[in-house]
């Protein structure tokens, strides 16, 4: 019963999960940036297999939420967009991971 309470508690937190992070496309981006310090848009395009349109709009949303920093520069003559997680972004991912991992704990199978 106490165990059920804990499980239920973890589940209820799902209701308030950060939707910005929860979206699969953005979670991919965030998890990649989490382990890599910085990456350019082309790398993310390949790693996520998103279209340019989706990548762009999701990055905009992440920027808007303050979770990633976007650094538009040039590599030689070509435009090059570098992306980096902010502190808030890193915290958001940590929170999300904690919430989801708690919620996905196997309940005493019966």
Interface residue list for DNA (CB under 7 A) = 19, 23-26, 40-42, 51-61, 72, 76-81
Output DSSP code: residue 25.
H
The interface region with a copy of itself, picked from 9-17, 61-69, 78-86 by CB under 8 A, is 9-17
Residue 109 beta carbon to DNA: minimum distance, rounded to whole angstroms: 26
Strands 39-40 and 68-75, bridge-based pairing? unpaired
For a copy of itself, give the closer residue by CB, 13 or 63.
13
Residue 79 beta carbon to a copy of itself: minimum distance, rounded to whole angstroms: 24
Place of tokens 């996520």: 48
107 binds a copy of itself (CB under 8 A): yes
Check: CB of residue 29 under 8 Å from CB of residue 47. no
Closest listed residue to residue 94, CA positions, set 67, 56, 59, 62: 67
Q: Give me 38's structure tokens.
A: 């910085």
91 binds a copy of itself (CB under 8 A): no
Three-class SS state of 40: strand
Check: CB of residue 83 under 8 Å from CB of residue 68. yes
Considering only residues 48 through 77, tell me which ones interact with a copy of itself, judged by CB under 8 A.
Answer: 48-50
Given the rule CB under 8 A, which residues bind a copy of itself?
Answer: 7-8, 11-12, 14-15, 17, 22, 24-25, 27-28, 31-32, 34-37, 47-50, 97, 100-101, 103-104, 106-110
């Amino acid at each position: 019963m106490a165990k059920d309470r804990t499980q239920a508690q973890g589940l209820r937190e799902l209701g308030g999960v950060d939707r910005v992070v929860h979206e699969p496309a953005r979670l991919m981006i965030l998890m990649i940036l989490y382990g890599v310090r910085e990456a350019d848009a082309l790398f993310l395009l390949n790693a996520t297999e998103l279209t340019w349109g989706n990548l762009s709009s999701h990055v905009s949303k992440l920027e808007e939420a303050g979770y990633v920093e976007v650094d538009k520069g040039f590599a030689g003559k070509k435009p090059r967009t570098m992306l980096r997680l902010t502190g808030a972004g890193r915290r958001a991912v940590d929170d999300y991971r904690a919430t989801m991992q708690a919620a996905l704990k196997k309940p005493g199978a019966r």
